[in-house]
Structures are given as structure tokens and as C-alpha cells.
Amino acid sequence: MKISAFHLMPHRELPADFEQRYPSVWVTPPWWELADARRVGQYYNWTLDELLHAARAGFDGVCTNEHHQNAYGFMPSPNLMGSVLAKLTNDLDVAIVQMGMTLPTTSPPVRVAEEYGMLDCISGGRLVAGLPLGSPMDVNLAYGITPMEHRERYREAFDLVLKAWQAKEIFAWNGKYFQLGQVNLWPRPIQQPHPPVWVPGSGSISTFDFATDKNVCYCFLSYSGARAATSMMNGYWEVVAKKGLPRNPYRAGFLQLVAVSETDAQAETDYARHVEYFYHKCLHVPPHWFAPPGNQDYRSLLAFNRNPVRRAENPKTLRYRDFVDKGYVIAGSPATVRDRLIEEVVKGLHVGNLMLLVQIGSMPHELTLKNIDLLAAEVLPALREIWDDEGWENHWWPERLRKVREPKIEERHGYAGARRA
Amino acid sequence: MTTKLPRRATATVWQGRVRLGLQVDGQGPAVVFFDGPWGLTWGAFLDALARPFTVYAPEHPGTTPGEPDTVLEIDNLWDLVLCYDEMLDELGLSEVAFVGHSFGAMIACEVAALRPARARRLVLLDPIGLWRDDAPVTNWMLVGPQELPEHVFRDPQSPAAKELFSIPDDPEAGALARTRLMWAMGATGKFIWPIPDKGLAKRIHRIRAVDTLLVWGADDRLVPRVYAEEFARRLSRTRTEVVEDAGHAPHLEQPAATARVVEAFLRG
């Protein structure tokens, strides 16, 4: 198993009546009413400190991501964060997992290839290159890309980035969306022929095909837990089987919200309000913005309209215990979290690259560090060797980091102890 | 009331890759009607125009039932305008009056500006195509399906609003109706996202001398009425009519009153 700490960098102090007062957490929340730049500077520094803490505590990777114009998670440039993390983890066997720089909004897309090349060079070949499509709120609403062109633009950019990394000769790119007369990338990544590529998806069959055709790791970034994802991930593994590819668990990634405390009851005391803050405020978006006209092709749209049951339930009607019962969040004592992660997520979905959202909604810094410490010390060790007996190679992980990471116990506890002192 | 359905026609253009569907009816001089962004519905307004005129109403690429992917053959506004120009050639229409609504009114301006000699007259019903920072046009593609009727119509309970936006109870018919409406917005939105100003202000001088009627619904909640002045000051021969008790689609909400002023203008 490879287990990474994922962070959204949310606004942690939205007003209690946020979702009543404002129409959306994304695109339209008014900065001048809701945020303060000095305080936001503190959020960014906490975020970096929390991810670094996870790296030192024993996580295998640290994940950043790109979003725009929102209070839900505002790292407009994941590579600024990734650059700090790469430099400060150079003494650790930790992957820098960029989940990542949004392809359709980066123009020209060779910029993605260049910046990832820089990160791979700075980190000594520890980059995982996430190549996301981007959400409609980011790509269509905030960054003005025509919904009907969103996916086609993505696919062209994807091919251009992969070619720019690998081409031995200077080449011309005469695309529909991008034209470049002479592509000659500086720098090239250390990892050859290119860094491992992860593609996040949300369950559409066309992305299953894309991920398997391109031989990348398909990552389901879910907020609804493993139970809600089972039929979808089964669909992915069916596509893998149909194409005659090995059922390698590292071909799949999954994001799970986790909250660990000393006991199940203490977890509720510690985390209930932060979990509710996340689902009630951070996901407060008009539902139709997730699919503006033209964003889905005609057949997908018709299939969706024929099966409205696939629409997710409204999380605003749920409370902490519902989120835990349904598996949206796996929370409780280390034993509870360990057992549920293994059964529901890792084995249930057949996942080798696990991402854990360690900071949820309004969770303060100290509580986030506690969550990370308990995960690293009491949960991760039980997960690490899960797939080892089957002998799979994690082709989607930096080669130099593929062996099992064994951090020195005193180093880990030393860091945690120093913080608490 | 509609007594008979318009007949269907097609025009194959763009090296054979784009088949445009049209609805055609009436007798007399040619009127080409470019519809708005919600899919062509032939109603009382076009019936009225189809008495003294032959009305040719093309369906925007992708909105013809059964042919959603046609729009994927057309990359941008320039391609779309040329496709319509080829369509008019194929139909043998060397001189026509253009009538357009909303997105279709912008297309009417662009097609006319490509070949001004073809445009006998121009009627723009609540057109888009220009932009003022102090009076932004509402992006209807970001309005929720529940709220859309009240943005387009003065009275969202009116029969016209129900005809355009109501979803049938039958699950399959409902799924198709939802999909067609959404796809029609996507297929037209492709040419105007995210701001419906694609350079018409630079090209509109080419139709400055064309007699133009501007028609505005008195309660248009999508396109503020200041745009009537924006169009009028760029065109030398315009008249503006305001239709009472109508929103962004006066020809659907007040078909008789709208047809009266349009027909009188086109006959004049």
C-alpha cells in the first residue's frame, strides 16, 4: 500500500450561517466579507506544516490540488505548495503527489510539463504527476473555458504534456486548441520516460476507458465514502478486465475522509462539528453548476437523465453520525478506523494508492496534527503490507520510493514530542 | 393556432459534414428565422409570419432531434456563420429578411454582416452580441432549471413558458426533454461562453445601412433594455418597439402583438 495525506486548504472559520447567507462556497463567495489575507496566510502555513508533519510522521506521500475562487479549498497553484514540500522533504522517502495542475486551464499546457519537470528535479525524482480535468466550477465558471470544449481540450493537453516530456527531438504541435512551433522542454523530469501519472475521475465510463488506454492510475476523489463508490469502482475494474490488463490494485487510487481519536466517543467529541462544517458549508454549491450545458456529451447527459437515482443524497440533511454510518467519513478509535479502511476501502474497492483527507473543514491545526499522529502511529502500519503478498509492482509510484517505507520510530515520536512540548 | 405542421427540410454543407435541419412554411418573400438558445419551437408567431412570407427556420447545429453531434463538426463562430451562409446558398436564397431571437439575433447579425447585400431587412428580438460592463447579460446557462422560466418569461406560469420548459411526466419523454433543453443550451452556448461578445461590435458596421427593427420585451430579465440603444447607435436605420407583458421571448409570450409589429415592418 501507498498512503498519502491529502489537503484541500479550506477556509476554516466560515460564519455559522454561511450556507444560509450565501448562495455558494464556490465562484461567488465574497472575499471582502469572508476572508482576511493575514489570516489566510496562516491557513497556508498551517497547511504546509500539516503536510510536512504527515511526511515526517510516516505517510508515503503528500497531496495538493488546484481550485479557484472558493472557500472550500483554495490552492490556485498546487505547484507553489508542492515546491515548498519538495524542498523540505528532500531527506525523506516521501512522494510529492500533485493532484494536481489543471490541464484545460493551463495555457499553453507545456507549462504543466515544465513545472512538473522542475518539481521532479527539485525533489530528486519523487513526483507523482496528477493530470486532472478540473471541476466545471474551476474550469468553466472561474476560468472561462467553454463547457463543450472542456474534455476535448483536456485530451489534447494530456497528449501534448506526455509528448513534451518524452520527445527526443524538438517538435511542432499543431493542435485544435494549442499551436506551438517548437516544443523543446526545459527541464525534463528525472523519472524516465516520465513521472507516474494519476488521473482523477468521478465515475464516468469514458474516463475509465481513458485511464486504461493511457495506462495511468485512476483516482476516485470521493466525499461519499467507499460504500457509495462500490458499483462505480467495480465498473472500473470490469473495464480493466475487459481490456486484458492485470488487476493490479495500484492502478486505482481513492480518497477517504478520516478522523481518529482515542475512542469512538472521543472522535465524535473531537470531530463532529468539523465534519458537519465540511459537508454543510464547504460543499455548498448549486448542484447544476457541476454540469453546465455542454459539459457532458449528449449520450452521458441522456443516460444521467434516465437514471436520476444516481444523484447523490443531499448532505445538508445529514449529521455526524450519518456521515460515519454511511462511510462518508471513517472516524473513531484507531482500531475502528483501521478495520473500516481495510475492509471497506482497501479490500472493498481493491485500491493500492490510498489518499486520506487528514484535515476536514474547520479542523484546527492542533487537532489535525493529532489526527495525523494517530493515523501514522496506529493505523498506517496495519495497512502498509496489505498487497505485498500478491507481489504487485506499483508502476504508478516513483521508482526510488516503491519499497516499504520504514521511518525510524524515535524520529517520528521525536518530532511529535517536540511539537507538543 | 397552428393548422398544420411546417415541413422539414435539410441543407447539407461544410464538405458534407454538417446536415442542417430546417422547418419551412408559408408563401411569399423569404424570411429566415434564427431561434434562441432553447431549441426551435414553431408556434403562433412563426405561423403568423408564414402567411405573407415563406419562413425558413434552421435548427442550430446539434439541436435537430437525433443529430446531437452535428455541433461537434463546427469549431467556432466563424465556422458557424459560414455554414449558415452555405445553407442560404444551397436554398437559393439570394435576398432575404432575417429575423432572430436572442442568440439567433446575434447569428442573424453575423450572417448578414458576412454578405450585407443578401439582407433585405433585419428584425432583432431581444438580441445578444454586445456587452456593457455596467449592464451585464445574465448567463442563462448558470441559472438553475427551476429558476430558468422566470428569467426568460415575464410570467413563468404562462402557456408559452410551459410549452418551452415543462418536462413531461412520462420518465422517458421527461429524460429526453431535459436532455434536449440542456443540449440546446450547450450547443448554442459553445459560441458565446462565457460572455456573449464575440466581436459583433467590430463587424456590425457592415450592416449599418440595413433597415432594422429592434423588438424588446418590456420585462426582459436576461438582456437589459440598454442594449437596444447599443444596437441602435451602431445601425443607422433602426426603430425600436417594446412589447408589453413580455420578458426575453416576446414572440413566444405575446405572439400576436409581436407578429403584428414584425409583419408590418417586413411588409413596409
Interchain proximity B190–A148, CB inside 8 Å:
yes
Q: Does B187 touch chain A (CB under 8 A)?
A: yes
Give the three cell numbers for residue A367.
487537532
Please give the span between the terminal C-alpha atoms of chain B, in angstroms, as a whole number: 25
Listing DSSP states for A173-227 in one string gives EE-SS-EEEEE--SSPPSSSS---EEEEE-S-HHHHHHHHHTT-EEEEE-SSHHH
Place of cell 513526483: A127
Show which of residues 192-211 on chain B sit within 8 Å of chain A, judged by CB atoms.
193-194
Q: What is the 3-state secondary structure (H, E, C) of A34-98?
A: HCCHHHHHHHHHHHHHHHHHHHHHCCCEEEECCCCCECCCCCCCHHHHHHHHHHHCCCCCCEEEE
β-partners of residue A255 are A221, A355
Helix, strand and coil in chain A, % to nearest 5: 50, 15, 40
Q: Which of A288, A295, A298 sits opposite B179 (nearest CB)?
A: A298
**Inter-chain Cβ pairs, chain A and chain B, closer than 8 A:** 67
Q: Taking the model in full, what pTM does it have?
A: 0.95
CA distance A203 to chain B (A): 20
Among the listed ranges A259-263, B2-6, B77-81, which one has the minimum average pLDDT value?
Answer: B2-6
Q: Which of A147, A286, A305 sits opposite B193 (nearest CB)?
A: A147
Phi, psi angle pair for A72, to nearest 5°? -80, -35
Q: Which of A146, A287, A289 sits opposite B190 (nearest CB)?
A: A146
β-partners of residue A415 are none
Interchain proximity A147–B186, CB inside 8 Å:
yes
Closest residue of chain B to A297, computed from CA coordinates: B183
Closest residue of chain B to A300, computed from CA coordinates: B179
User: What DSSP element (H or E) covers A17?
Assistant: none
Interchain proximity A294–B190, CB inside 8 Å:
yes
Alpha carbon distance A338, A375 (integer Å): 9
Q: Does B176 touch chain A (CB under 8 A)?
A: yes
Alpha carbon distance A385, B25 (integer Å): 73
Q: Which residues of A touch B69 (CB under 8 A)?
A: 298
Interchain proximity A146–B185, CB inside 8 Å:
no
Q: By the 8 A CB rule, do A404 and A384 touch?
A: yes
Interchain proximity B179–A301, CB inside 8 Å:
yes
Interface of A with B (CB under 8 A): 140-141, 144-149, 176, 286-289, 292-295, 298, 301-302, 305-306
Q: What is the ipTM of this complex?
A: 0.95
Q: Which residues of B touch A145 (CB under 8 A)?
A: 193
Alpha carbon distance A119, A98 (integer Å): 10
Place of cell 459534414: B17
Interchain proximity A147–B174, CB inside 8 Å:
no
Q: What is the residue-level pLDDT of chain A in tens, covering all 421 positions?
A: 999 999 999 999 999 999 999 999 999 999 999 999 999 999 999 999 999 999 999 999 999 999 999 999 999 999 999 999 999 999 999 999 999 999 999 999 999 999 999 999 999 999 999 999 999 999 999 999 999 999 999 999 999 999 999 999 999 999 999 999 999 999 999 999 999 999 998 877 788 999 999 999 999 998 999 988 998 999 999 999 999 999 999 999 999 999 999 999 999 999 999 999 999 999 999 999 999 999 999 998 998 899 865 556 889 999 999 999 999 999 999 999 999 999 999 999 999 999 999 999 999 999 999 999 999 999 999 999 999 999 999 999 999 999 877 654 444 444 444 444 3
Q: Which of A141, A146, A301 sits opposite B182 (nearest CB)?
A: A301
Q: Does B171 touch chain A (CB under 8 A)?
A: yes
Domains, chain A, with CATH or none: 2-420 (3.20.20.30)
Which amino acid makes up residue A303? A
Q: Which residues of A touch B184 (CB under 8 A)?
A: 293
Show which of residues 124-153 on chain B sit within 8 Å of chain A, judged by CB atoms.
141-142, 144-145
CATH fold of B7-267 reads Rossmann fold (3.40.50)
Please give the span between the terminal C-alpha atoms of chain A, in angstroms, as a whole number: 32
